[in-house]
Amino acid sequence: MEGGRGHGARLRQAVRLRGPDTGSALSHLEGGLSGRSYDAEALIGLDPADQRPLLARYDLEHAGRSLTRQAMAARRSGGLWRWRELLPVRDSSFITFLGEGDTPLQPVRWPGLARLLVKRESLNPTGSFKARGMAVAVSRAAELGATHLVAPSAGNAGGALAAYAAAAGVRATVIMPADAPAINQVEVLITGAHLILLDGLINDCGRLAALVCDELGAFDLSTLKEPYRVEGKKTMGFELAEQLGWRLPDAIVYPTGGGTGIVGMWKAFAELEALGLIGAERPRMFSVQGQGCAPIVRAFEAGERFAAPWEGASTAAAGLRVPSAVGDFLILDCLRESGGSAVAVPEPQIVDTRSRLGRLGLGYASLETAAAVAGLEALMELGLIGSEETVALFDTGAGFKSDPPAYVVPKTVPNDAAYWRERVIPTLR
Cβ(170)–Cβ(10) under 8 Å?
A: no
Find the range with the poorest average confidence among 4-8, 99-103, 353-357. 4-8
Average confidence (pLDDT) over 219-243 = 97
- Going by C-beta distance under 8 Å and a sequence separation of 6 or more, which residues neighbour residue 232? 80, 87, 100, 132, 133, 134, 135, 136, 137, 264
**pLDDT for res 11:** 35
Task: Give whole-number Cα distances, 106 to 119, 196, 304, 387, in Å.
Answer: 6, 37, 35, 18
Average confidence (pLDDT) over 29-42 = 97
Burial class (CB in 10 A: 0-12, 13-18, 19+), 311: exposed
What does pTM read for this prediction? 0.92
**pLDDT for res 18:** 65
Average confidence (pLDDT) over 137-145 = 98
Average confidence (pLDDT) over 174-202 = 95
Query: Which residue type is seen at 398?
Result: A
Percent of the chain having pLDDT more than 70? 96
Average confidence (pLDDT) over 130-139 = 98
Core vs surface per residue 269-283: b (16+ CB within 10 A) or e: bebbbebebbeeebb
Statement: residue 246 has pLDDT above 90: yes
Find the range with the poorest average confidence among 208-212, 214-218, 317-321, 366-370. 317-321
- Residue 86 CA to residue 60 CA, distance in Å, equals 8
Q: For residue 401, what pLDDT band results from cuts at 50, 70 and 90?
A: confident
Cβ(166)–Cβ(149) under 8 Å?
A: no
**pLDDT for res 402:** 80
**265-288 pLDDT, tens digit each:** 999 999 999 999 999 999 999 999
